Homo-oligomer: A and B are copies of this chain.
Amino acid sequence: MTKIVELSDQPTFTIKDVSSQTGIRPVTLRAWERRHEVLNPHRAENHYRLYSERDIAILRWLKNRIDNGFSISNAISELRSLTSNNIWPEAIASAPTRQASLPNNTPPDHYAKELFRALVSHDEERAGDLLREVHALFDLYTVFLDVFVPTLREIGEAWYRGEIRVTTEHFASAYLRGKLLSLLQAYPVRRNAANILIGGAPMEQHELGSLMIAVLLRSEGFRVEYLGPDIPLEDLVDYASYESPAMIVLSASLEDSAEGLRGLQASLQKLGKNAPLFGYGGRAFDLHPELIKKVPGNYLGNTLKLAVTNIRNLLQARVKATA
């Protein structure tokens, strides 16, 4: 985790920007620079100072030390001893990262790592660049299986180990949710293909898994309605009786949510010949495999690829059965 984070050296901020962001007066900034040789802002052609994000991160850290009662010279020598050992104070390490873009033959693994770093430092711009690159290089399955999923797993684990804040986890999740939803909406809706309803089990809040399934299915030409997380089952059955979808897919990451799915298959069977297939999956079933026996219906497997293959096969079988 405490690997040295590279910060942008792109000089973009004027002294006024820096002052308003750090609360340090311009005169003081210049005095520090002159007297302590701290920072070395780039200069524009007109000799104006241009600060990088890294500079600002350092200044914020210094300001923080001063507000805690240390003198500027103390703070600076502390900073020096820290940086010479390659240990960066958290405020600096968590500043946005930006690296030269990697060569085009980088395996998806590296993108997962880079994406993780970008998200952990709340750097949307970098994350966007990475995703654009990833989409240009790989197909959707690779993007999801080898970039998104590992990134999400790493974020989850880092959160569990207490290395990143809940707020950061929230930020990353909101960001990827947005990307997946716009991806979903970018695919055209097939009106006369098999209709699949996708959502999260009751009480379920994590929707990234079901969203990825939805995007993959839609990209393969299925007609997909994405219903979001926390679907009430009774209402869903009622909706299914009117809409007659070919299949309902729900995901659960919590044990309780998964338990809640036990009665669904039976309720759906009551709809008779038009009863939709019911498929389920999610982290809850990876962690507690005994749940698979308890929940009637089609367990879709523990990877996205498996899930999509299973859904495809189940639907084909259903078409044959009704024909």
Contacts and interface: CB of A to CB of B under 8 A. Distances in A.
Interface string A151-173: 00000000000000111101101
Contacts of A88: none
B173 A228 contact: yes
Given A14-B74, A171-B228, A174-B227, 16 more contacts: A2-B186, A12-B191, A94-B242, A124-B189, A165-B238, A166-B235, A167-B227, A167-B236, A174-B181, A174-B226, A177-B228, A178-B182, A178-B184, A179-B181, A181-B182, A182-B185
Contacts of A94: 242-243
Interface in A198-242: 199, 205, 225-228, 230-232, 235-236, 238-239, 242
Interface string A130-145: 0000000000000000
A273 interface: yes
B273 A23 contact: yes
28 contacts: A12-B192, A13-B192, A14-B74, A20-B322, A21-B192, A23-B274, A63-B274, A67-B273, A90-B242, A91-B242, A94-B243, A124-B185, A124-B189, A125-B191, A128-B185, A166-B232, A167-B227, A167-B236, A170-B227, A170-B228, A171-B225, A171-B226, A171-B227, A171-B228, A173-B228, A178-B182, A179-B185, A181-B182
Contacts of A186: 1-2
B178 A185 contact: yes
Interface of A: 1-2, 12-14, 17, 20-21, 23, 53, 60, 63, 67, 74, 90-91, 94, 96, 122, 124-125, 128, 165-168, 170-171, 173-175, 177-179, 181-182, 184-186, 188-189, 191-192, 194, 199, 205, 225-228, 230-232, 235-236, 238-239, 242-244, 272-274, 319, 322-323
A178 B174 CA distance: 11
A54 to B, nearest CB: 12
B182 A17 contact: no
A231 B231 CA distance: 22
Contacts of A230: 170, 205
Contact of A167 (B170, B179, B239, B322): B239
